[in-house]
Amino acid sequence: MNELTGAEAMVRMLQAHGVDTIFGLCGDTSLPFYDALYRIGGKTQHVLSRDERSAAYMADCYARVSGKVGICEGPSGGGATYILPGVVEANESSVPIMAITTDIAVSSRGRFALTELDQQALFRPLSKWNQVIDRSADVPKVMRAAFRAMTTGRPGATHIGLPFDVQKGPVDEANVWADEALGRYPAWRSGPDPAAVEAAAEALVSASFPVIVCGGGVVISGAEAELLRLAEALGCVVATTISGQGSIPETHPLGLGVVGSNGGVIETRAVVEKADLVFFIGCRAGSVTTERWQFPAPGSAKVVHLDIDPAVIGANYETAAALVGDARLGLAAIADAVTELAPKQVREAKAVVENAKRAKYAAFNALAESNETPIKPERVVATLRRLLDDDAIIVADPGTPCPYLSGFYEIRETGRTLISNRAHGALGYSMAGAVGASFGRPGVKVVSVMGDGSFGFTSGELETIVRLGVPVTMIVFSNSVFGWIKAGQKTGFEERYYSVDFSRTDHARVAEAFGVKAWQVEDPSKLEGALKAALAHDGPSLVDVIAQPLQDAKAPVSEWVA
């Protein structure tokens, strides 16, 4: 038989599933794997990051914009622990990434080998599927199982542990085969029960003011056209979570925008309160979307729920109709059923949406036009919306960028153009994520927006960006504070500020030291010129904006407004 090493079989299995990009960081235990990539990697490119967290965030955003599985890798010990934040973020966001962590040899276990830890136990609660491979011969079948787990049902993150001696042992080349369709998602779609579809359609048609709330499942499934067909047949408001943005253009007469405690405003909340039926699609109806399960209030409206994961249906709200299945197949079936029951319904939805958006943007625009200093976040968001093409991708860190961009940066196209890490909200996501997005959708402008707290987590990746010539534009809200926490101390703890302020960094000079073209802006009148120049630059660029601190701003975060 023709034999490969375990490391060679791993590379071949990645290639057989259509993998063309791997994000990662080298280590001693990864030497056979790297040598296999060097010798037989072919067109598969390896993107060397400066931190395993960053590699995982790169893989996450690559997967979100490309529709393909994201691959990240790192060595044993510290590498395995550092890669965890990106794995759990992707898994809880239903984004299929594979984390490959090499490991000490199987023969060295229990002998106090350097970097030894139980990787199987470490990744078990944080991933959808997880396996440390103990025999070289098992590499092909384990890889097939991992890709199948990642891309079928609810997409999620997987982990492969690859011990040093397993990388060097023999594998029969005849066992190296794959279904390339499992390298993209969602694969092997399944639709909901026809009886549930009928019940949902009847509930939707009989409601006087139904409201659809879309989570990330609509975009993940590519169900935008089916959603629009259903919404227009019903004459129904469509709201989204932050992860659900792109399900419907926010310029559409039925598109309300983001609802919930992060990015929602009083006017959009009022529309949800008006509903006598709420249809959650690809959405867990969690604490942020529902403002801690207050909007809708339990029992105030009927609930219909469509999700690929049966565990989320009925977890927070009693359901009148429960549909388990892929969003695209489910919405297509419901749209057919609704059209048959009531071909075209006329409701007041468009007028309600128009009034809500008019009031929302009137308040925003007044702040966006302010010439006060420090520069208001609203002005940055409004300027970006004027300057960027509709297909540009923005990757936003939590903190200052997320509520402002999700609330007020108007999404004019369907699909994934605004990304924020909403599952766990770790700082340091945006810069690395923008690198992954740039590889996942080359030729499209990618902008990373972060606070200065996040910049401190991830500034080492400036070297990666310059080394690879990634043409991302980075924007830093510089206000010398962990603003989200300080705002919480202001509103919930009577302004007892404690251990949240730090010294100002000149982010533009730091970026220039790495070789990034950079600007610093304090004067609002100079903001547009700096952003325009940065976006037009043909290499990596950064704009350091001296911005209003979040605790003093009027961010669309309901707990602070209250």
Q: Any idea what the CATH number is for the domain that residue 450 is in?
A: 3.40.50.970
Rg of the chain over CA atoms, in angstroms?
A: 24
148, 183, 218 - which closes a domain? 183
Question: What are the residue ranges in the chain where pLDDT is below 70?
Answer: 1, 562
CB 149 within 8 A of CB 128: yes
Residue 464 CA, chain-centre distance (Å), reads 21
Residue 110 lies in a domain: yes
Residue 364 lies in a domain: no
- The answer on 457 and 342 residing in a single domain is no
What pLDDT score was predicted for residue 224? 98
What pLDDT score was predicted for residue 344? 74
Residue 362 lies in a domain: no
What pLDDT score was predicted for residue 288? 96
Residue 358 lies in a domain: no
C-alpha 60/C-alpha 411 separation (Å) is 21
Residue 189 lies in a domain: no
- The answer on 84 and 8 residing in a single domain is yes
- The answer on 218 and 123 residing in a single domain is no
Domain range enclosing 400: 369-561
Tokens 């060295």 identify what position?
108
- The answer on 206 and 174 residing in a single domain is no
- The answer on 291 and 162 residing in a single domain is no
C-alpha 214/C-alpha 1 separation (Å) is 52
CB 301 within 8 A of CB 274: no
Q: Is the pTM of this model over 0.95?
A: yes
- The answer on 216 and 103 residing in a single domain is no
- The answer on 317 and 406 residing in a single domain is no
- The answer on 156 and 33 residing in a single domain is yes
CA distance to 210, 232, 259, 318, 487, per residue, from 271 (Å): 10, 17, 9, 20, 26
What pLDDT score was predicted for residue 1? 67
Tell which residue, 113, 19, 111, has the closest CA to residue 72. 19
Residue 16 lies in a domain: yes
- The answer on 119 and 229 residing in a single domain is no
Residue 363 lies in a domain: no
Q: Which percentage of the chain shows pLDDT scores above 90?
A: 97
In what helix (H) or strand (E) does residue 263 lie, and over which residues does it extend? none
352, 385, 400 - which closes a domain? 352
Burial of 278 by CB count in 10 Å (0-12 exposed, 13-18 middle, 19+ buried)? Answer: buried
Close Cβ partners of 351 (under 8 Å, ≥ 6 residues apart): none
Q: Which two tokens stand for residue 285?
A: 């109806």
- The answer on 427 and 290 residing in a single domain is no
Residues 473-511 as b/e (b if ≥16 CB within 10 A, e otherwise) read bbbbbbbbbbbbbbbbbbeeeeeeeeebeeeebebbebb
Could you read off the pLDDT of 369-406 as tens digits, one per residue? 999 999 999 999 999 999 999 999 999 999 899 999 99
Half-sphere exposure of 401 (CA within 13 A, CB side): 32
Residue 506 lies in a domain: yes
Q: How many domains does the chain have?
A: 3
157, 183, 209 - which closes a domain? 183
Q: Which two tokens stand for residue 267?
A: 């006017």
- The answer on 149 and 71 residing in a single domain is yes
C-alpha 325/C-alpha 132 separation (Å) is 30
Could you read off the pLDDT of 508-524 as tens digits, one per residue? 999 999 999 999 999 99
- The answer on 346 and 389 residing in a single domain is no
What pLDDT score was predicted for residue 196? 98
Close Cβ partners of 493 (under 8 Å, ≥ 6 residues apart): none
